[in-house]
A and B are shown apart, each in its own frame.
Chain A
Amino acid sequence: MRRLWLLALVIGLAHAQTSIEAGRELYMGACSGCHGATGEGSQGPSLLSGRAGRLSHQAISTIIRKGVTGSSMPDFPLLPTASVANIAAFVRSLTSPAISAQLPGDPESGRTLFFGDGKCSTCHMLLGQGGHPGPDLSNIGAERSVHQLRESLRKPSARIEHGYRSATAVLPDGSTLRGVARNYNNYSVQILDATGRLHLLERRYLKSLEIADSSMMPPVANPEDLLAFLAKQSTRPPTQQ
């Protein structure tokens, strides 16, 4: 089943003549050791950065083929042209905004889930509709790639944006305050609670403060409809620009 929708995803994407999925397989074999399994970078640079996102398909192909002199990026002179193109297509897809992708999920079902049983809107807002503590998602389809969105839905704690870590503070009167730490250091903490109240606190007055390394968000096991819905969220859709 999973293979089926992956196939549909691949077929639906704009550069149908090259295979992003084939590129992904090649990438996992030859590239992920240095650039990370999702392009996040390790020994090699991140492929998700703005700089990487500005590279054209041709520029990426040239780098794969010829390597980068003076760095540890090797050349691949014998790799078939089609394979180079497929890897380049995969690398490009890592940074393309989700709104430009054709996705197999049903965005309307995703919307129903978002504002209904999925309870996403308890914490997230879309153009003023929804709850407070999570990141605003009004423009998320233009800001995140499909890969990034899918990862955020499946593994919310894998990568937490600064300002959204769970925080628990015990106040001077012994009561407990829970929310997200929009910011904190040794001297102060700024906690946004679930009702949208912002608490600007000086740490020396607190009995305790815990900032968690995990997200408040539960993982989404089957995110395809939500993904299709979120990918469409853009304040300035490409046709307007």
Chain B
Amino acid sequence: MKLLLLLLPLACAAQVTPAAIGNSPNADWLTYNGDYASTRHSSLHQITPDNAKDLVAKWVYRLDGAKRLQVSPIVHDGLMYISNTNEMVALDARNGRQIWHYRAKGAEGARVNRGLAILGDKVYFATADCHLIALNRRTGSLIFDVPYASFANGYTTSIAPLAIKNGILVGVAGGGSGQRGFVASLHPDTGKETWRFWTVPGKGEPGSDTWGNFPAEMGGAPTWTTGSYDPALNIVYWPTGNPWPDFYGGRRPGDNLYSDCVLALDADTGKLKWHFQFTPHDVWDWDANESLVLLDSTYRGKPRKLLVQANRNGFYYILDRVTGEFLHAQPFVSKLDWTTGLDDKGRPKVIPEKIPNPAGTKVCPSVRGASNWMSPAYNPATGLFYVVTLEQCDIIVASAKEPVPASGFRGTGNEGIPTEPGKFYLRALDVLTGKKKWEYPMPGPGVMWAGTVSTAGGVIFSGDDDGNLVALDAKTGKDLWHFSMGRSLFASPVTYMIDGQQYVSIAAESDIFTFGLFSPAGAN
């Protein structure tokens, strides 16, 4: 039987449907954060707390020239897809053998790439100069290469697109360089834009009065991470980043909508249904681009559709994702000193002394944030939300200098405090309260950006700050296994299954490392 499976031609398998993406991750891993709800929780259960000690390396694939892979691989039909700046590769997911390699010749920009999307018979990725590229998933043949923003005007991107029923959703960077953010939906067959939502309103549009006279074209509020999607509500949830200039708000009086928000957009039209702003008038560079995790649960006695996020500003938020109503927030780091707390609408009361000034202001969390784009995971069986957190403060210096877009100007900047180095922890939070259940310290140089994956086997995988892939008991945080990659980690792991073998993969600088349970020679 196994033999037959091995020889099954891949073309027999069905096209990748939105329903399949919604049911992922199982044997396949079909979207950046595993599923539309961004839980990164896999139904695979071959690896358990009892046998995780038997994990061994299965294969390593080196992508020549890659320096800092940040991709979460996509796995489907026996193939693994990975992306790097302006290039994409398909591998035999059992052994890491390359099937095809596509380089977007002529593509400009050098920004990192976080991943790709799959739908139908195509795989999609965005180049650093904001072209969406669609390739035949079996051959790597080019289907289209379509620009969706102007590199000449300063736009770049690192995004892993999100494939939904009728669109490939993309975003842009620009919070640190003064571009106007947007989310766009491009047609899966042609790349033609079907809708676009500008994250900084144009003159006279709702929300434009939250900027003073600051030009919308420089507003930032970038869309550089992958959003979530609720097919039943037909709503796309997209997080936005900081207003520009990052650290000086004097020229942009007001809340600066829709920076540092979650946007609930109609999936067919891109029309805004509601928004919630985590950090109004941000002057600390606290993008809200962290994962938006969707879950349905009984909350305060009644069934609710929830959206949760561990925000860069140090609070774990719970919102009603139908209405956008703020339900609850809880600090998930101890180093948090910029606010006296949130009001009943979730609006923070800012301590005036924590607004950066030219002399320098100590603020906690740091600019990197209490968490960041490293993906969290949520396991419905444990009710725990697993998130990599950073305990750190920064000195932030602000300047009223005239802002010039795409010049490197950010309203001045931040520096670490040498006597108070940042410390990473993987924390398990009660998903309905945000309270810490356990934590796993991750000693190291304080440079990692690795995220997590959860499995039905009861094992959590995460990168740590010392370059290890670690396996922890999902209930207790007990250390079960680790493997040193010998380099710092800047990506989140994924898990998948082929021919009865569960694999765990993580990108590490130039390589993809893949692990599975030991099996006798010849069995794999």
Please, what's the 1-or-0 string for A200-223, where 1 marks a CB less than 8 Å from any CB in chain B? 111011000000000000000000
Please, what's the 1-or-0 string for B103-117, where 1 marks a CB less than 8 Å from any CB in chain A? 011111000000000
Knowing A143-B105, A188-B97, A236-B105, say if A127 contacts B142 (CB, 8 Å): yes
A241: chain B residues at CB < 8 Å are 106, 108
- Interface SS, B side: mixed
Residue A196 at the chain B interface, CB threshold 8 Å: yes
Of the candidates A136, A182, A200, the one having the most CB atoms from chain B within 10 angstroms of its own CB is A200
Residue B395 at the chain A interface, CB threshold 8 Å: no
CB of A172 within 8 A of CB of B3, answer yes
B143: chain A residues at CB < 8 Å are 127-128
Partner-A contacts on B (CB < 8 A): 3, 6-7, 9-12, 78-79, 92, 94-95, 97-100, 104-108, 136, 138-145, 522
Q: Which residue of A lies closest to B78 (CB)?
A: A200
A187: chain B residues at CB < 8 Å are 95
CA distance A171 to B389 in the complex (A): 51
Q: List 19 A-B contacts (CB under 8 A).
A: A125-B136, A125-B141, A128-B136, A132-B138, A136-B141, A138-B141, A142-B105, A142-B106, A183-B97, A190-B97, A190-B99, A192-B138, A192-B139, A199-B9, A200-B78, A201-B7, A205-B7, A235-B105, A241-B108
CB of A205 within 8 A of CB of B6, answer yes
Residue A198 at the chain B interface, CB threshold 8 Å: yes
The A/B interface has a contact count, at CB < 8 Å, of 95
CB of B139 within 8 A of CB of A136, answer yes
B10: chain A residues at CB < 8 Å are 197-200
CA distance A199 to B12 in the complex (A): 11
CA distance A198 to B3 in the complex (A): 16
Which of A128, A172, A182 is within 8 Å of B142, CB to CB?
Answer: A128
B16 CB to closest chain A CB, in angstroms?
A: 15
B7: chain A residues at CB < 8 Å are 171-172, 199, 201, 205
Task: Add 4 more A-B contacts to A188-B97, A205-B6 (CB < 8 A).
Answer: A199-B7, A199-B10, A235-B105, A241-B108
Top 6 nearest A-B pairs (CB, nearest first) are A197-B11, A136-B141, A236-B106, A197-B9, A128-B143, A138-B142
Residue A139 at the chain B interface, CB threshold 8 Å: yes
Which of B99, B105, B138 is within 8 Å of A183, CB to CB?
Answer: B99
Residue A163 at the chain B interface, CB threshold 8 Å: yes
A143 CB to closest chain B CB, in angstroms?
A: 6
Residue A72 at the chain B interface, CB threshold 8 Å: no
Residue A185 at the chain B interface, CB threshold 8 Å: yes
CB of B142 within 8 A of CB of A196, answer no
Q: Which residues of chain A from 119 to 146 have a CB within 8 Å of any chain B CB? A: 125, 127-128, 132, 136, 138-139, 142-143
Residue A17 at the chain B interface, CB threshold 8 Å: no
